[in-house]
Amino acid sequence: MNGERKVISFTVTGFGEEYTVQTYENEYRNLMVLLNDKIYMEDFGQCGGQGRCATCLVEVTAPGGGLLTHERNEQSTIAKKGRVGQNARLSCQIFINDALNGAVINIPDDLL
């Protein structure tokens, strides 16, 4: 099936809502950009994806424990928000690929 892109499907929860999101590998630069496009959120991703502001923080539950490897400096940015825990990630450091398939991404509303 040349040229057919595999659909990546995952769930986003937040603000008392649950959304099913479908995308393709690398359709967006990263998960923060995708969330801003699909679910408008004021003040989400303020630093534009540089990994500095932590306004794009999400809590990740992924099948097989994927998506839980932090990028360089990510943990120190997250710690500024007083969050600990392996499942807290900066969504701007998560790329759109198969590891997202079946994941649940929670947007903690106490951070916004």
Q: State the residues that interact with ligand FES by CB under 6 A.
A: 32, 45-47, 49-56, 77, 90, 92
Query: What is the closest distance, in whole angstroms, from the C-beta atom of residue 30 to ligand FES in the complex?
Result: 8
Token duo for residue 16: 């008392």
Pick the closer one to ligand FES by CB: 53 or 99.
53
Query: What is the closest distance, in whole angstroms, from the C-beta atom of residue 16 to ligand FES in the complex?
Result: 23
What b/e string do you get for 40-77 counting C-beta neighbours within 10 Å, with b at 16 or more? ebeebbeeebebebbbbbbbbbbeeeebeebeeebeeb
Query: What is the closest distance, in whole angstroms, from the C-beta atom of residue 95 to ligand FES in the complex?
Result: 13
* Adjacent-strand bridge partners of 19: 12
State how far the Cα of 85 lies from the Cα of 75, in Å rounded to an integer.
Answer: 10
Query: What is the closest distance, in whole angstroms, from the C-beta atom of residue 48 to ligand FES in the complex?
Result: 6
State how far the Cα of 35 lies from the Cα of 52, in Å rounded to an integer.
Answer: 18
Pick the closer one to ligand FES by CB: 43 or 98.
43
